Each structure stands twice: as C-alpha cells, then as structure tokens.
C-alpha cells in the first residue's frame, strides 16, 4: 500500500551514540506532508520537531533513553495516511504516534490509532475528534472545547461590539473549511446576524472576481471567509480589484500567517481581521518561545521553510513537549498511563500553559483574532517583530486597538 510514497529517512536527532545508552530509543512516529499542497507547512513542522528531539537528547533523553523520530511523507494525501500509521505501529514498532499537520490528515489516522488504543497528539486539527470522541486524542491548537464555534467566536465578538447586522460567508468545499464555515454559521445565528450570502467554492478555484462581485452587490456589513492559502490570496486580491469594502473582513483565512503570503499580499492585508495562534506581540512572550524561534530561524533558510516560524512551528514543538512531560511525570511509556496524565494535568510549553478538556481540545479558547495594520511594503523583515499583527481577542492577550471600519485601515 505504500508503493510510490516518498519515504523519509529515519531520524536520530542529536549526536548521542546509541550503543552507549544501554536502552533502546523511545521512538515517535508520524506522517507528515513533505510534498503536495501542504509541504511548506509540513517541512516547517518537521524542523520544529527535530529541534525538540535534539533539545531533549542534548539534555539526556527521555527516561535516560534517546529519542528517535520516524516519519514518512504522506504527500498531503489523506488516502496515504492509514497505511503509514499501520506501518509505523506494526512494522516500525514505534512507542508513540503523533499526527501530521492539519485536519484532513489527522482524521484518517484516528481509526488506526483508536483500534490499538494509543495516545494520539493532533497538530492543528479543527474538530478532528468530533466524530470519534476518542479519549486519548489531544489537539495542540488553542481553539477551545467547542472547536467549530470557538474557532470564529472572537470574530463575531468584534462584530457584536460594533453592532453589525448582515454577513456574507464564503468557504472552500473541503473538510477544514466546511467545519469552520459551519461554526461561523452557528455563531452568526447566535449573534442575531442576517446571513445574506452563504456558499462554498471548489478548492481549485482560480478566479474569485465573480464571487466577490456577487457579495459586493449585497453590501454586507461583514465578510467571513474560511479558506485555504490559494483562496485566501485570491479573495484578498479580488476584494481589492472590485472595491469590496465590508466593515469587517476576514475570519478563518489560512495562509495569511506565513511569510510567503504576508509578502505576496503586503499592504493589501491592512484592515483584515483574521485568526492566528501566535504572533510576536509583547502579550504573547511565553517562556522559551524566543529561544526556540532563534534556533528555528537560524535553520529555516537552509531547509527552505517559512523564515518567520510564528504560526505552526512553535505548536509542533509544544505538541511534543506535552508528550515529553507526561512521559517524564509517569516515568512510563504505557499508553494508558501517559494518556490519563495528559487528560488530567496542565503543561508548561513554549506556547503557554496547556490543559485539555474531555474531548481532547483545549479546555478554554485562545484562538487569536489579529488585525493586519501598518504594512508598508512586501519586505519580510517587518513581520519578525511586533506592530503588524495586532491582537484584538481574547482580551487577556490584547495588544492594540481595532482600526474600524475595514476601509480605514486599507492603503
């Protein structure tokens, strides 16, 4: 079943001679998108995980044993995932499995993991465990206990503050975006908004001008978008081309968090209010995050990944920190002991304190809503520091004020 897959080499991270350890390594296996549509994200996540493994091994390993990462390229194809995890468990006999990046590649791994009652750390899944309710799934994304609605709750809280009344919604016809748009629809109804447009578009859509013109004709107060990177770029550009100016614009646009898209769009981003998980604002300076980013950014160019590393890499590192702390606390690699510990305890990570709820999601939401402000050009250097992605929500992490309406922040 694995014929044709690009198989990544077994990685033994750190310069620790295995023969000198007396115990075999603790092996952690996963699939990761190293080719295909999510390859840029997958490679960035992999680098972060390699940095974690080296950090652990440099300090003596886990339970006195070195750590090995065993990974295969899932090619961003959900159909490849079950076979990869079957091989990791049955052939490679890894001690733990963690997920690849994103909802579409987490969900197909879950049945394989559940059958064997293994702990499964999920990297950026949106409601990935909703259908399964698997007790040993834990998602490292600060979305919250009700992921569909928590994802966009901050966006709608901002809309409520400004007493907006009508909303248009557009999203990609794919699992993540459908989940995000479903939650936005629930929020819109709960907040008493009148939905004047609610449609999906095929993931391969290249020209968004007709869609945006149709939305402009309805003149909604709000445009809420649930998109993957191509759609995020296409909708932003089309909005500028046709002069679309809702009072609030953004929501769940994947891709705008990365240097490649920040620089591609530059000042066109000004005024958009969008989700994020970590940005270099002073309110989010958690212990260890700067040290991690220094290591990541020093290697990013040579590996050919996102030079900022703000969006996904800290979370890929923190995902393994949670697993590490549970193994160390229980002094065990027993799946049930480790899983029960993760469910019942709080963890200190480079993305802050983490505690999971009964469904494996964060017990409280910390999905950020940030506004792009004062972006002057397409130079990447402006995004390394604060002042370009202002945190508006949640209140505890707020770093600045909303420029409202959207048109006031445009170039």
Both 320 and 277 in one domain: the answer is no
Residue 394 is assigned to a structural domain of this protein: yes
Maximal C-alpha separation, the chain: 71
Both 327 and 381 in one domain: the answer is no
Residue 2 is assigned to a structural domain of this protein: no
Distance CA 89, CA 112 (A): 9
Both 52 and 67 in one domain: the answer is yes
Cα 244 → chain centroid: 28
Q: Would you list the DSSP string of 116-170?
A: TT--EEEES-SSTTTTT--TTEEEESTT-SSHHHHHHHHHHHHHHHTT--EEEEE
Q: Kindly report each contact of residues 43-47 with a partner whose C-beta sits within 8 Å and lies 24 or more positions away, as own/partner.
A: 43/303, 43/304, 43/305, 44/300, 44/305, 44/306, 44/309, 44/312, 44/313, 44/316, 45/100, 45/101, 45/123, 45/312, 45/313, 45/316, 46/71, 46/316, 47/296, 47/299, 47/300, 47/303, 47/305, 47/313
Distance CA 110, CA 108 (A): 6
Q: What pLDDT is stored for residue 411 in this prediction?
A: 72
Q: What pLDDT is stored for residue 10 in this prediction?
A: 40
pLDDT in tens, the chain (411 residues): 443 443 443 433 333 343 344 489 999 999 999 999 888 899 999 999 999 999 999 999 999 999 999 999 999 999 999 999 999 999 999 999 999 998 889 999 999 999 999 999 999 988 899 899 999 999 999 999 998 899 999 999 999 999 999 999 999 998 788 989 999 999 999 999 999 999 999 988 999 999 999 999 999 999 999 998 899 999 999 999 999 999 999 999 999 999 999 999 999 999 999 999 999 999 999 999 999 999 999 999 999 999 999 999 999 999 999 999 999 999 999 999 999 999 999 999 999 999 999 999 999 999 999 999 999 999 999 999 999 999 999 999 999 999 999 999 987
CATH number of the domain where residue 52 is located: 3.40.50.2300
Residue 217 is assigned to a structural domain of this protein: yes
Cis peptide before 90, with omega less than 30 degrees from 0? Answer: no
Q: Kindly report each contact of residues 378-385 with a partner whose C-beta sits within 8 Å and lies 24 or more positions away, as own/partner.
A: 378/263, 378/264, 378/266, 379/263, 380/259, 380/262, 380/263, 380/307, 380/308, 383/259, 383/262, 383/263, 383/308, 383/310, 384/280, 384/308, 385/280
Distance CA 403, CA 41 (A): 30
Both 239 and 298 in one domain: the answer is no
Both 265 and 383 in one domain: the answer is yes
User: Domain containing 237: what range?
Assistant: 147-282+368-409
Cα-Cα-Cα-Cα dihedral of 288, 293, 294, 297, to 10°?
Answer: 170
Q: What pLDDT is stored for residue 38 in this prediction?
A: 85
- Write down which residue in 355, 379, 396 finishes a domain: 355
How many angstroms separate the first and last alpha carbons of the chain? 52
Residue 329 has which token pair?
């606390």
Which residues, listed in sequence order, are joined to residue 281 by a DSSP beta bridge? none
What's the structural domain count of the chain?
A: 2
Both 27 and 109 in one domain: the answer is yes
Residue 3 is assigned to a structural domain of this protein: no
73 phi and psi, to 5 degrees?
-80, 120
CB of 310 closer than 8 Å to CB of 283? no
Both 133 and 73 in one domain: the answer is yes
Residue 362 is assigned to a structural domain of this protein: no
Both 387 and 333 in one domain: the answer is no
Residue 80 is assigned to a structural domain of this protein: yes
Backbone CA torsion sign across 127, 128, 130, 136 = negative
Both 212 and 346 in one domain: the answer is no
Q: What pLDDT is stored for residue 388 in this prediction?
A: 98
Both 194 and 103 in one domain: the answer is no
Residue 57 is assigned to a structural domain of this protein: yes
Residue 361 is assigned to a structural domain of this protein: no
3-state secondary structure of 216: helix
Task: Say what angle helices 175-190 and 147-161 make with each other, to 10 degrees.
Answer: 50
Both 137 and 31 in one domain: the answer is yes
Q: What pLDDT is stored for residue 21 in this prediction?
A: 41
Cis peptide before 187, with omega less than 30 degrees from 0? Answer: no
Q: What pLDDT is stored for residue 174 in this prediction?
A: 84
Both 373 and 227 in one domain: the answer is yes
Could you give the strand order of the β-sheet that contains 248-253, starting from the edge strand earlier in sequence?
194-201, 166-172, 222-227, 248-253, 273-276, 368-372, 389-393
């Amino acid at each position: 079943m694995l014929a044709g897959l690009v198989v990544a080499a077994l990685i033994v991270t750190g310069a620790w001679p295995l023969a000198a350890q007396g115990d075999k390594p603790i092996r952690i296996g996963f699939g990761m998108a190293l080719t295909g549509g999510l390859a840029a994200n997958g490679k960035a996540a992999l680098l972060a995980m390699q940095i974690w493994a080296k950090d652990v091994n440099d300090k003596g390993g886990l339970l006195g044993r070195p750590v090995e990462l065993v990974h295969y390229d899932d090619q961003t194809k959900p159909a490849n995932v079950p076979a990869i995890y079957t091989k990791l468990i049955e052939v490679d006999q890894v001690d733990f499995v963690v997920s690849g990046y994103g909802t579409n590649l987490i969900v197909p791994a879950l049945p394989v993991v559940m059958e064997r009652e293994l702990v499964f750390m999920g990297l950026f899944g949106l409601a990935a465990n909703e259908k399964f309710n698997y007790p040993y799934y834990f998602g490292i994304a600060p979305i919250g206990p009700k992921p569909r609605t928590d994802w966009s709750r901050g966006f709608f809280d901002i809309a409520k503050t400004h007493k907006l009344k009508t909303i248009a919604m557009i999203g990609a016809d794919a699992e993540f975006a459908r989940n995000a748009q479903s939650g936005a629809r629930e929020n819109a109804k709960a907040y008493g908004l009148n939905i004047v447009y609610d449609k999906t578009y095929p993931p391969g859509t290249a020209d968004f001008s007709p869609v945006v013109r149709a939305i402009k004709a309805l003149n909604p107060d709000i445009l809420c978008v649930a998109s993957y990177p191509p759609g995020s770029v296409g909708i932003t550009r089309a909005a500028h081309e046709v002069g679309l100016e809702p009072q609030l614009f953004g929501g769940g646009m994947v891709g705008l968090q990365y240097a490649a898209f920040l620089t591609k769009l530059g000042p066109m981003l000004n005024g958009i209010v969008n989700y994020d998980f970590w940005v270099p604002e002073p309110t989010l300076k958690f212990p260890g995050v700067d040290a991690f980013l220094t290591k990541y950014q020093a290697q990013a160019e040579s590996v050919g990944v996102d030079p900022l590393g703000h969006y996904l890499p800290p979370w890929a590192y923190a995902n393994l920190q949670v697993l590490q702390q549970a193994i160390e606390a229980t002094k065990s690699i027993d799946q049930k002991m480790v899983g029960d510990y993760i469910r019942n305890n709080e963890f200190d990570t480079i993305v802050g304190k983490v505690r999971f709820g009964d469904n494996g999601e964060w017990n409280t939401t910390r999905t950020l809503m940030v506004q792009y402000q004062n972006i002057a050009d397409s130079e990447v250097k402006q995004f390394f520091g604060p002042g370009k992605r202002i945190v508006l929500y949640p209140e505890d992490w707020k770093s600045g004020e909303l420029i409202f309406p959207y048109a006031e922040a445009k170039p």
